[in-house]
Amino acid sequence: MLELLDAVALTAIRAFDAEPDLPGSARAWLLAVSDARVGADAELDSFERIFALHGALQTRRAESPEELDALFAVRRALHPGLDAFAGASVHGDIAVPRSALIEFVDRAAEVSERFGIAISIGGHVGDGNLHPAVAFDPDDADQVARAHAATDALLAVAQDLGGTISGEHGIGTEKLHALDGELSPRVRELQRAIKAAFDPKGLLNPGKKI
């Protein structure tokens, strides 16, 4: 497990919950968890060396289940913290090749600036699955429109980098409009044909991706 929270996420979490011990000058937070039965300490040692090499302000290693849960609590505060930050947020679920993670973060910052809306980057960077969150005031119609436009722009960036608009939570109805940028008409046609073979009356999950 390798979890990321960026500066926007940390700002929101600090405002939402004063309990986590997060340095005020920290611009990012990483949680590394090893599931190795043998060699876990060596893995964590290597993470600590890498973190230090890249200027980590602080490194903490959990020595008990309670200490580990305290670290997980920071990650769990991401969504409620962002919702409280501006009033609401759109939580994304994209994935890009790990080699494109830095470029995605840079381009997400450009999207944030272009639309004048706060965007947080968090997620499972170990496998390239990110959960960008666009924060907005739900009572401000202009912010709502800009938030959804920014969300669509992030989907396009993920596709442009060879990624996908859904890393783990599926397409549903909200991303149907962006699917054509990822799957060809022929692939969509084949998927519909396979579904029709098993569900000729269209009873199973109607109106979703297929």
d(CA 22, CA 195): 49
Q: pTM for the complete prediction?
A: 0.88
Do 132 and 120 meet the contact criterion of CB atoms below 8 Å apart?
A: yes
**Which residues contact residue 210 at a Cβ distance below 8 angstroms, ignoring those fewer than 6 apart?**
188, 191, 192, 195
Q: Which of 129, 163, 96 is nearest to 1 (CA)?
A: 129
Provide mean pLDDT across the span 91-117. Answer: 96
Structure confidence by residue, pLDDT tens digits, 56-89: 998 999 989 999 998 898 888 888 998 888 899 9
Structure confidence by residue, pLDDT tens digits, 151-204: 999 999 999 999 999 999 888 888 988 998 899 999 999 999 999 999 999 999
Domains of the chain: 2-78 (no CATH), 86-181 (3.30.70.2740)
| Banded model confidence at residue 10, pLDDT cuts 50, 70, 90 | very high
Provide mean pLDDT across the span 134-153. Answer: 96
